[in-house]
């Protein structure tokens, strides 16, 4: 029997007729926003079209005891403060630092903690960059804010500080490209804001796995009074005379004063709301918003009783001669990351797994026939195993589960346009933040503008959205 406390509750029979705010989507932005608003005393309904909360912060289980994390690769230390302040000390206490990040390519092979001190040391000792240049670069990116001039590109930033040094640029760019889809032609401030977060103290993760953390977050939401409904697809946001009326879904309309969409920005504008509710100038700006790239992943389950010697926590590996954004996203890329999950990743477990991730273009996968699609996925799996063989000899002898995900998989799971893993490019953030000016009470959160990508970025945008909704509701603007 399904009920309100079930992770799979999709019953609409016992929902209220009206809430202060309805949140559509349960990515980290939506979850954080909902938790803050509930703690502030607002009635919150959280709708999720999938059976599990978390969006891309999710996991799945397979026979043989395997649990695979989709996006739990690493995030900045700032996630500790965010979780402690907006979730709970218990959740914050689950965050631990990764020991080693490896970068291995034709230009260099380096192991690092990827924090400020170690990166400065490597840039100086390995790449022979002067300490003055390094300090000037770090000072520049740490001083960047969203309100800075976005016209300087990442390429121009690097040329200013490291002209012609493609090796050093690869060291500080490639991991960020994997983390949020950045290219050298994206705004420098988008790179600087994200990279400076890692510079503080390195790379961190949740111990216990995504299932543990999302479970703890869900318990916190329920404790604070959030009404959670999974397997509930929001179909339309009802609006009249620029005022939010409610949300339509599962054959029912539920009234509310404010709506927060944690879905894809463009889907929110054109599908959930509808173009007729926006000014022409706003729609023109929305037309300029580019989707970020998608991803492919290969999930590698190590047979129970087998082990992997410690080879690092995350490995960025490539056979490309230099960093190349187009090569990184190409269908037959040799550039990928390996996230290694040892037994201590889930205390009490004796299992190991590896998740390989590559950037991808939706168009390379979207129009394949079923036979072509199956063959392409198998090719992806085998090329991935070949690459992993360098770090884990005879890996095929240790494996008893292999599975691949493509942009088509991500689109089906998240309903994101083109399976976009990181939302939109930089221009999307301005449009996302501009929604309440078009329709009072309408807000957006989640991956937008590169800056708000990843675990910390998405949660931080949830905080921003919650503050906006709270101001809106507290002024009584949502009342008739």
**pLDDT higher than 50, residue 147:** yes
Residue 3 has pLDDT above 90, yes or no: no
Cβ atoms 263, 24 nearer than 8 A? yes
Q: Is 5 part of a structural domain of the chain?
A: no
Q: What pLDDT, on a 0 to 100 scale, did the predictor assign at position 183? A: 92
Q: Work out the average pLDDT over 274-303.
A: 96
Among the listed ranges 55-69, 110-124, 407-421, 450-464, which one has the minimum average pLDDT value? 450-464
Q: Do 298 and 364 fall into the same domain?
A: yes
DSSP assigned state of 238: E
pLDDT at 132 over 80: yes
Same domain, residue pair 318 and 400: yes
Report pLDDT for 11: 55
Residue 480 lies in a domain: no
Same domain membership, residue 324 and residue 429: no
pLDDT at 1 over 60: no
402 and 259 assigned to the same domain: no
In a domain, 3, yes or no: no
Average of per-residue pLDDT across 396-421: 94
Cα three-residue angle 106-71-455, rounded to 5 degrees: 105
The average pLDDT across 44-66 equals: 95
Residues 80 and 42 placed together within one structural domain of the fold:
no
- Per-residue pLDDT at 13: 66
Q: Are residues 444 and 462 in the same domain?
A: yes
Look at residue 8 and tell me if it is in a domain: no
Q: Per-residue pLDDT for 30 more than 50? A: yes
Mean pLDDT of 274-299: 96
Sign of the C-alpha dihedral computed for residues 109, 175, 197 and 157 taken in this order:
positive
46 and 63, same domain (yes or no): no
Q: Residue 4 has what pLDDT?
A: 38
172-184: average pLDDT: 90
Please, which contacts does 9-16 make with residues 24 or more away whose CB atoms are closer than 8 Å?
9/228, 9/229, 9/230, 9/231, 10/229, 10/230, 10/231, 10/232, 10/250, 11/229, 12/229, 12/232, 12/250, 12/251, 12/252, 15/45, 15/227, 15/229, 15/252, 15/254, 16/43, 16/45, 16/227, 16/254
| Per-state percent for the chain, helix, strand, coil, to nearest 5 | 40, 20, 35
Q: What is the dihedral of CA 50, 346, 389, 202, to 10 degrees?
A: 90
- Residue 136 to residues 8, 10, 13, 141, 185: CA-CA distances in angstroms? 51, 54, 60, 9, 22
| Any domain includes 48 | yes
Domain match, 386 and 344 both = yes
Instruction: Give the total number of structural domains in the chain.
Output: 3
For residue 25, give the nearest of 3, 1, 70, 57 by alpha carbon: 57
For the segment 162-179, the average pLDDT, to the nearest whole number, is 94
pLDDT tens-digit map of 429-461: 999 999 999 999 999 998 777 677 789 999 999
Q: Is 283 contained in some domain?
A: yes
Regarding whether 429 and 286 lie in a shared domain, the answer is yes
Measure Cα distances from 209 to 295, 306, 315 in Å. Answer: 21, 20, 19
Residue 88 domain-assigned (yes or no): yes
Asked whether residue 5 carries a pLDDT value surpassing 70, the answer given is: no
Confidence class for position 12, pLDDT limits 50, 70, 90: low
Predicted local distance difference test score (pLDDT) of residue 478: 63
Domain boundary among 373, 394, 414: 414
Q: Which domain CATH number covers 249?
A: 3.50.50.60
- Of 363, 384, 414, the residue that ends a domain is 414
Do 172 and 224 reside in the same domain of the chain? no
pLDDT at 396: 97
Tell whether the model's pLDDT for residue 165 goes beyond 90: yes
Residue 139 backbone dihedrals phi, psi, to 5 degrees = -60, -40
State the CATH number of the domain containing residue 84.
3.90.660
List phi, psi (to 5°) of 61: -115, 150
Q: What is the mean pLDDT of residues 207-225?
A: 97
The overall average pLDDT reported for the chain is 93
Q: Is 422 in contact with 290 (CB distance < 8 Å)?
A: no
C-beta atoms surrounding 223 within 10 Å: 12
Nearest residue to 456 (alpha-carbon basis) of 11, 86, 8: 86
Q: Are residues 241 and 267 in the same domain?
A: yes
* Percentage of the chain lying above the pLDDT 90 cut: 83
pLDDT digits (tens, 9 = 90+) for 312-325: 999 999 999 999 99
Q: Which domain holds residue 302?
A: 59-97+204-209+292-414
- Whether 12 maps to a domain, the answer reads no
User: In this structure, are 309 and 242 located in the same domain?
Assistant: no
Q: Is residue 6's pLDDT more than 50?
A: no
């Amino acid at each position: 029997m399904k009920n309100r406390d079930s992770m799979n509750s999709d019953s609409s029979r016992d929902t209220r007729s009206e809430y202060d705010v309805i949140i559509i989507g349960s990515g980290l932005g939506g979850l954080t926003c909902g938790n803050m608003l509930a703690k502030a005393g607002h009635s919150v309904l959280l709708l999720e079209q999938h059976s599990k909360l978390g969006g891309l912060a999710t996991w799945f289980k397979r026979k043989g005891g395997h649990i695979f994390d989709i996006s739990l690769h690493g995030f900045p230390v700032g996630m500790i403060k965010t979780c402690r302040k907006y979730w709970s000390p218990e959740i914050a206490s689950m965050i631990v630092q990764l020991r080693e990040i490896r970068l291995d390519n034709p230009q260099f092979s380096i192991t690092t903690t990827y924090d400020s001190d170690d990166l400065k040391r490597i840039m100086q000792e390995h790449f022979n960059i002067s300490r003055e240049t390094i300090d000037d670069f770090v000072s520049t990116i740490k001083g960047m804010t969203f309100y800075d001039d976005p016209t300087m590109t990442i390429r121009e930033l690097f040329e200013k500080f490291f002209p012609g040094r493609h090796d050093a640029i690869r060291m500080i760019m490639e991991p960020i490209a994997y983390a949020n889809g950045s290219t050298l032609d994206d705004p420098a401030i988008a790179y600087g804001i994200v990279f400076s977060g890692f510079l503080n103290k390195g790379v961190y993760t949740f111990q216990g796995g995504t299932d543990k953390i999302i479970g703890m977050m869900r318990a916190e939401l329920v404790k604070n009074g959030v009404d959670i409904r999974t397997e509930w697809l929001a179909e339309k946001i009802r609006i009249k005379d620029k005022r939010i009326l409610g949300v339509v879904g599962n054959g029912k309309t539920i009234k509310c004063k404010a709506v927060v969409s944690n879905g894809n920005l463009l889907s929110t504008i054109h599908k959930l709301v509808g173009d007729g509710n926006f000014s022409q100038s706003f729609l023109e700006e929305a037309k300029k918003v580019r989707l970020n790239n998608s991803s492919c992943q290969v999930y590698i389950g190590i047979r129970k009783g087998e082990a992997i010697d410690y080879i690092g926590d995350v490995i960025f590996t490539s056979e490309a001669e230099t960093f190349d954004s187009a090569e990184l996203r190409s269908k037959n890329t040799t550039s990928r990351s390996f996230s290694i999950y040892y037994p201590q990743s889930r205390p009490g477990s004796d299992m190991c797994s590896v998740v390989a991730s590559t950037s991808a273009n939706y168009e390379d996968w979207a129009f394949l026939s079923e036979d072509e699609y199956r063959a392409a996925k198998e090719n992806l799996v085998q090329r991935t195993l070949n690459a992993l063989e360098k770090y884990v000899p005879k890996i095929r002898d240790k494996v008893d589960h292999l599975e691949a995900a493509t942009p088509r998989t991500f689109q089906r799971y998240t309903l994101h346009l083109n399976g976009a893993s990181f939302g939109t490019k930089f221009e999307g953030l301005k449009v996302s933040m501009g929604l309440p000016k078009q329709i009072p009470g309408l807000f957006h959160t989640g991956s937008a503008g590169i800056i708000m990508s990843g675990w910390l970025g998405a949660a931080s945008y949830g905080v921003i959205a919650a503050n906006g909704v709270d101001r809106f509701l507290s002024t009584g603007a949502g009342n008739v």
